[in-house]
Amino acid sequence: MYTANLLLTYVRYFSGFTLTIKIKVDDETKTVRPEVCDAVKHYVSTNFREPKIMEEYQGLLTYYLPDKSVAWSRMFGIMEAAKRDLPVEDYSISQTTLEQIFLQFTKYQHEAQQT
């Protein structure tokens, strides 16, 4: 029962958008430079209200955007500007799916059991 209530809470509060950003790899080092990654993170935190980074792995950033009132056109406009001004190779914006919520929930439960 406790787990079901917690999952329902997750569904209620994590029903915004998911933003995934792929950062361009540096031609010389063949890696994503940390300062480039930091610049993209700063851009996201400046242009979206209360973004929460869910995952960061080898130049791939995944954010949860809780603001459900923002227009799709505004989000795409912000990210097109990022693609033009920053080394953003690609991005995707989608509504957070129930599967993503469930996976995040199970990840949280697993981490809680580890501590």
Q: If the chain, 115 residues long, is cut into consecutive pieces of 10 residues, what is the mean pLDDT of each piece? A: 56 76 93 94 97 92 91 96 97 80 65 69
The domain locations on the chain are 16-106
DSSP labels, 16-31: SEEEEEEEPPPTTTSS
pLDDT at position 95: 84
Q: Are strands 17-23 and 60-65 parallel, antiparallel or unpaired?
A: antiparallel
What ranges in the chain are assigned the alpha helix state H?
Answer: 2-13, 34-47, 72-85, 98-114
pTM of the model: 0.76
Bridge partners of 57?
60
- Looking at domain 16-106, its CATH architecture is 2-Layer Sandwich (3.30)
